Amino acid sequence: MTDVRNNHVLIELREVKKIYGEGHAAMHALRGISFVIERGEFVAVMGPSGSGKSTCMNILGCLDTPSSGLYLFDGVEVGSLSREGRALLRRDHLGFVFQGYNLLSRTSAMENVELPLFYRGMHLHERKALAIAALTAVGLNGWERHSPSELSGGQQQRVAIARAIVTDPELLLADEPTGNLDSVRSREIMDLLAGLNSDRGITIVMVTHDREMASYAKRIIRFLDGVIVNDGPNGETA
């Protein structure tokens, strides 16, 4: 396993390409992208549909692997890990927030948040204590026993965020986290994510189409046709 640790750098992509299919049917989703994300950054990833941003996020989340190039997480070459190793990296170091919440419909908010801890083999009393703390952190103290159907969209996304942070991840990957919410709830969720970044130092990489939501990030990486066309500080901070 390659290990070239830098205490400040959490993510590094080096000339990463992703090709689906072969020959004339080959689709070049990523055409050799490179960037570095340091610990504690809040980065928005933007671009039109088919630009490569979702493929990039899947690679960062160890849900897909590059066709060529290197992905280093905390100095470790992810491509050198086995499938089990990548699964452990996801479990122990990454948190995910999706547009569709992805909550289990027949379980309570607390049970949804406990799920990553269950997969870690944590004892029940410890799981519950951490789940309550995570729900409190996202403003849902007192809602622990409510099912998703009893919660608003904004509350459901808060549960999803609590589930993502209950393991104290180094990296939070958010894919259109406000895509199903109205403008008021969207700003509430973005205020929450910005607070997790500034107060807890969680590194956040967020895909969004929404300029207002992207304004919360400190840096924007823009994709087009599988390449990065702009990468720099965000001039429209919220």
Count of the separate structural domains present in the chain: 1
Give the span between the Cα atoms of 181 and 97, in whole angstroms: 14
Range of the structural domain that residue 57 is part of:
40-65+86-233
User: By the 8 A CB rule, do 66 and 16 touch?
Assistant: yes
Structural domain includes residue 77? no
Structural domain includes residue 191? yes
Q: What backbone phi and psi angles, to 5 degrees, belong to 234?
A: -80, 120
Structural domain includes residue 78? no
Residue of 16, 53, 52 whose CA lies nearest to 208: 53
For the whole model, what pTM was predicted? 0.92
User: What's the pLDDT tens digit per position in 127-147?
Assistant: 999 999 999 999 999 999 999
Q: What backbone phi and psi angles, to 5 degrees, belong to 106?
A: -100, 15
Q: What Cα–Cα distance (Å) separates residue 57 from each residue in 30, 31, 109, 188?
A: 11, 15, 26, 23
Structural domain includes residue 159? yes
Structural domain includes residue 104? yes
CA angle at residue 231 from 227 to 232, to 5 degrees? 175
Structural domain includes residue 10? no
Amino acid at 234: N
Average pLDDT, the chain: 93
Structural domain includes residue 115? yes
Structural domain includes residue 53? yes
Q: How confident is the model at residue 23 (pLDDT cuts 50, 70, 90)?
A: confident
Tell me the percentage of the chain whose pLDDT exceeds 70. Answer: 96
Q: Which token pair is 123?
A: 């004892």
User: By the 8 A CB rule, do 116 and 166 touch?
Assistant: yes
Query: Which are the contacts of 166, defined by CB distance < 8 A and separation ≥ 6?
Result: 113, 114, 116, 117, 130, 131, 133, 134
User: What's the pLDDT tens digit per position in 52-64?
Assistant: 999 999 999 999 9
pLDDT at 6: 57
**CATH code of the domain covering residue 135:** 3.40.50.300
